[in-house]
């Protein structure tokens, strides 16, 4: 019998440890990426809610863009102390429309990933129009 071509079972002691050393960091990185995306999504929703509140104030009948920006900052101060960083607010109003914009970054979980957050709300300005038909 020719033993040269005979296949013997290999010794695979320690292979599970090597596989675990490779798989565990990748699994943790993937888990942290999921948490980072969830945090970014939450920060985006907070920015959108703050912009909508500011828009409601800015587009009111006697509202101003500075009042809309102030309400937006107040909402951000209440809600965004954790997930949203470096938030900046810009508000504008003219005779026809009003808009509020929020920019910032999501709090980083992964050190090499900085995700921007942007939210904008715009709408027409409320105007009082008297009923001239005499109703």
Q: What is the pLDDT of residues 60-105, one digit of tens each?
A: 988 899 999 999 999 999 987 889 999 999 999 998 999 999 999 9
Other Cβ atoms less than 10 A from the Cβ of 72: the count is: 29
Q: How far apart are the first and last CA of the chain?
A: 112
Q: What is the pLDDT of residue 3?
A: 56
In a domain, 19, yes or no: yes
Domain range for 116: 14-124
Residue 4 lies in a domain: no
Please report whether residue 96 resides in a domain. Answer: yes
**Domain-embedded: residue 6:** no
Region 109-119: mean pLDDT is: 92
Answer yes or no: is 116 within a domain: yes
Structure token pair of residue 32: 């942290």
The count of domains in the chain is 1
Total residue count of the chain as it appears in this document: 135
pLDDT mean across residues, the chain = 88
Model confidence over 3-62: pLDDT tens digits? 566 565 666 666 677 778 888 899 999 999 999 999 999 999 999 999 999 999 999 988
Three-state DSSP at 121 gives strand
Task: Report if residue 134 sits inside a domain.
Answer: no
């Amino acid at each position: 019998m020719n033993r040269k071509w005979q296949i013997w079972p290999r010794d695979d002691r320690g292979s599970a440890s090597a596989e675990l050393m490779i798989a565990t960091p990748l699994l943790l990185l993937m888990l942290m990426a999921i948490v980072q995306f969830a945090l970014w999504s939450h920060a985006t929703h907070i920015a959108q809610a703050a912009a909508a509140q500011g828009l409601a104030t800015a587009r009111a009948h006697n509202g101003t863009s500075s009042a809309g920006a102030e309400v937006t900052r107040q909402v951000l101060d209440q809600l965004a102390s954790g997930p949203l960083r470096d938030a900046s607010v810009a508000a504008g109003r003219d005779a026809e429309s009003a808009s509020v914009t929020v920019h910032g970054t999501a709090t980083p979980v992964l050190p090499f990933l900085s995700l921007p957050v942007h939210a904008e709300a715009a709408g027409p300005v409320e105007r009082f129009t008297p009923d001239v038909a005499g109703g």
